[in-house]
Amino acid sequence: MSEELLQQLAVCVERGKVNQASPYPPDMKGQDGADELTRKALDQGVSPNDVLEKALIIGMGNIGKKFSANQVFVPDVLMAAKAMTAAMGHLKPFLDSGQVKTRGTFVIGTVQGDLHDIGKNLVCMVMEGGGWKVVDLGVDVSPEKFLAAVQANPGAAVGLSALLTTTMVNMEKTVKLIKGEVPGTKVVVGGAPLTQEFATKIGADAYSPDPQGALDYLNINVAA
Ligand code: B1M
């Protein structure tokens, strides 16, 4: 019974079905959404960890893979993230009390001089959906601010986003400062103007053209 409930919940996240009142997606109109199903699962005694691992992460993972394959688009990911957020509201007390184990901490921001945050926010959503605690530093983040966040979150991995050819150069300063002060920190970079060649040149550990690639890399190379 609870397995069926978790499967339904995963579908709600993947399809972006937030709650019963939500008219989206039209073919699920009137049905329970991520909000109601998460509450139901917890009330039935399903552990918060199972809700996260066996439903929410599965649903976000599915949409992330489809997005990487160009089978769905930005609005689909945003709706999935909205459903995920509704579900996470019920899990928050358990997360805050440490009852739900996260895969690690991910510090992310758009680099200095750059105000673009739509792609970076998608990465945040997919990482959170993948079971990571996300520390979002926002936009126009200096190398020193990234470093302070890494020092405040021991063991954290870092994500840098840039959308401008003029600001991607600031990634190199950030990677060098972090690697110099906290050796061993894994740094993933992404953003439209980037290439694997550039990422390798500046000493980043990985480049990903999309959020799912960043999650996959960190799950394999850093996750607890
Ligand atoms: Co700007 N802008 N913009 N802009 N803007 C671009 C990027 C541009 C390509 C437009 C153009 O000229 N054709 C161009 C850059 C040229 C270049 O350098 N090569 C440009 C410019 C020039 C500028 C200004 C300089 C314009 C001006 O003022 N003269 C200015 C700069 C401001 C600044 O940052 N200092 C500027 C301003 C703005 C707005 C504020 C108006 C707005 C940003 C709003 C916001 O983000 N809140 C804006 C927008 C919206 C765009 C476009 C239209 C869309 C960007 C976007 O959100 N894409 C863009 C043109 C375009 O791309 N069509 C453009 C959707 C988003 C989902 O994709 O961010 O690539 P993206 O993220 C992807 C991947 O790259 C990846 O995952 C995401 C999902 O797949 N990804 C990661 C991103 N980060 C990642 C990190 C990872 C992994 C994957 O790991 C850590």
Tens-digit pLDDT string for the chain (224 aa): 689 999 999 999 999 999 999 999 999 999 999 999 999 999 999 999 899 889 998 999 899 899 989 999 999 999 998 999 899 889 888 877 778 889 999 999 999 999 999 899 989 988 988 899 999 999 999 999 999 999 999 999 999 999 999 999 999 999 999 999 999 999 999 999 999 999 999 999 999 999 999 999 999 999 87
**Domains of the chain: which residue ranges?**
2-97, 105-221
Question: How many angstroms separate the alpha carbon of residue 95 from the centre of ligand 1?
Answer: 33
Backbone CA torsion sign across 154, 155, 156, 162: positive
Q: Which residues line ligand 1 (CB under 6 A)?
A: 74, 113-120, 122-123, 159-161, 163-166, 188-193, 208, 210-211, 214
Task: Please give the number of the atom of ligand 1 that sits closest to the Cα of 208.
Answer: 88
Distance, in Å, from the CA atom of 218 to the CA atom of 55, rounded to the nearest integer, reads 20
Q: Look up the CATH number of domain 105-221.
A: 3.40.50.280
Which pTM does this prediction carry? 0.88
Fold observed for domain 2-97: 1.10.1240
Question: How many angstroms separate the alpha carbon of residue 138 from the centre of ligand 1?
Answer: 14
Question: How many angstroms separate the alpha carbon of residue 113 from the centre of ligand 1?
Answer: 12
Backbone CA torsion sign across 222, 142, 115, 205: negative
